[in-house]
Amino acid sequence: MREFFRIRKVTRKWDRAAGKFFYNISFRVRTEVTPRTMAVAEAFGLGVDQYQRHVIYDNVELKIGPKDIVYITGESGSGKSVLLRALEKDLGDQAVNIADVEFNPKKPLIDTVGKTLEEGLELLSRVGLNDAFLFVRRYNELSEGQKYRYRLAKLMESGKQFWVMDEFCATLDRDTAKIVAFNVQKLARKMGRAVLAATTHEDIFDDFKPSVYVRKGFGKNIEVKYFHNEVNGACSLTRNMRIVEGSIEDYESLASFHYRSSRVPAPMKIFALRRRSETVGVIVYSYAGILAFGRSKAFGRRLTVEEINRDLALISRVVLHPKYRSVGLGVRLVKETLPLAGKPFVEAVAVMAKYNCFFEKAGMTKIAESKPDKSIVEAVERLRDLGFNPVALASERSNLKRLRALSPKEVQKVHEILLGVSSGYYKRLKGSGKAYVNKSEYGEFMRKASHEKLAKVLRTLAILTQTKVYLLWKNLRKPT
């Protein structure tokens, strides 16, 4: 049976100054006349050739400001989407719908968000896509939860005041839905934006923490509640998580989610963040190296080897399961374990610290930044002219694919570019165990290098382009 319906808006008014919306919304339905619908009409005394009027919003008043978090919920078919569309139409150019976000599915994420590389990395990091592997993936290679996070980054980039989301988190598993709901309200409130979200799911109320709650029933039934508008500081999933002493097995269970090699420096201590029996995060404290940029600046002098071994620990890895990112667990993992490292000083050297300040939020102090050498930057720019994506240089597979597409003359050009970097980096690029590699030896290595070896050299070059941050934490507690 097919029905013809027509929405009729008897009253529709938006008082901009007061931030109030007034709605009277009804619809008319008429059933298509067929032999079977006529038979049903005769049996039950229905008038199939006449419109029937149904009221779904009767003198409804909603007070919604430009920073409110609005949660519209109720049964399917009760009229949630009708209300959301009416609100969106009234808001006009001030609103952006997550379903209308435009992007290029053929390009890596980092090339589709942000006006600059730095802005793109910051936006993706803020929505929990802070993973070097994710930066170079395409939209269609993401999970449903990651796609939702990416679209959220595009909403943030739009500059619109109202973010509209129908079927909010409907396609996500319920744990991921709670994390996304928590993240949406947190980001919107910190940016001073409003969110209008509609969904049949009511299990995200605590994490979404709405300031305006609309519970829509069938017919004219509607319940509207208003709450204090404040940031929800903790996702519900984190309440039952605990930090315990971990093992190398805990690290190995999450190592694949870290952009660096799964190999980790000899661990001093390992701590795991657990949710029930699941390891959702891990932090590894290792022995500090003899040399570290920024250390002399932090201490005002060069430390002796004895002092380094006695007083310093290094945070060599912090890894979170991608599902649980952007809800403050990185900060918690660092903050709660720093006093447990057993050393008066803990240092960290990290690339991501430039775009995600969770080390500083955990109590560490940013001391210095290490800028890449000019010859390294120039090499990357020259490689760009040969079709290499600077962001994708961190992927050996991507490098190998590009190298195989080049002509022999172009591959020779790659050799020349790599020979042009400062000689102090020859050892690192060659991957040699020797203390020093001269230009002649490095040149011979480059001449004989296969595509596979060149792909690794290019990956090392990408690492050398990174701006690293040195951070330090001092234990102010007196030993007991």
pLDDT digits (tens, 9 = 90+) for 293-347: 999 999 999 999 999 999 999 999 999 999 999 899 999 999 999 999 999 999 9
When computed from its CA atoms, the radius of gyration of the chain, rounded to whole angstroms, is 29
Cα–Cα nearest to 262, from 287, 284, 290, 292: 284
Give the residue carrying structure tokens 């508008």: 229
- Report CA torsion sign: 93, 94, 97, 100: positive
DSSP class per residue in 96-163? EEGGG----TTSBGGGTSSSSHHHHHHHHHHTT---HHHHTSBGGGS-HHHHHHHHHHHHHHH--SEE
pTM above 0.95, yes or no: no
Q: Which of 74-78, 131-135, 254-258 has the lowest mean pLDDT?
A: 131-135
What is the distance between the alpha carbons of residues 204 and 227, in angstroms, rounded to a whole number?
16
What six digits make up the tokens of 249? 């097995």
Higher per-residue confidence, 353 vs 279: 279
Task: List all residues 6 or more positions away from 340 whose beta carbon is below 8 Å from its beta carbon.
Answer: 269, 271
What six digits make up the tokens of 31? 């059933």
Q: Which CATH superfamily, name and number, covers 240-350?
A: Gcn5-related N-acetyltransferase (GNAT) (3.40.630.30)
The percent of residues above 70 in pLDDT, for the chain, comes to 90
Fold of 65-234: Rossmann fold (3.40.50)
Reported as a pLDDT band with limits 50, 70 and 90, residue 127 is: very high
Q: Please report, for the chain, the start and end positions of each structural domain, with discontinuous segments joined by +.
A: 1-63, 65-234, 240-350, 374-464
Identify the helix (H) or strand (E) that includes residue 215: strand 212-216
Q: Which of 11-15, 263-267, 309-313, 457-461 has the lowest mean pLDDT?
A: 11-15
Question: Does residue 417 sit in helix, strand or coil?
Answer: helix
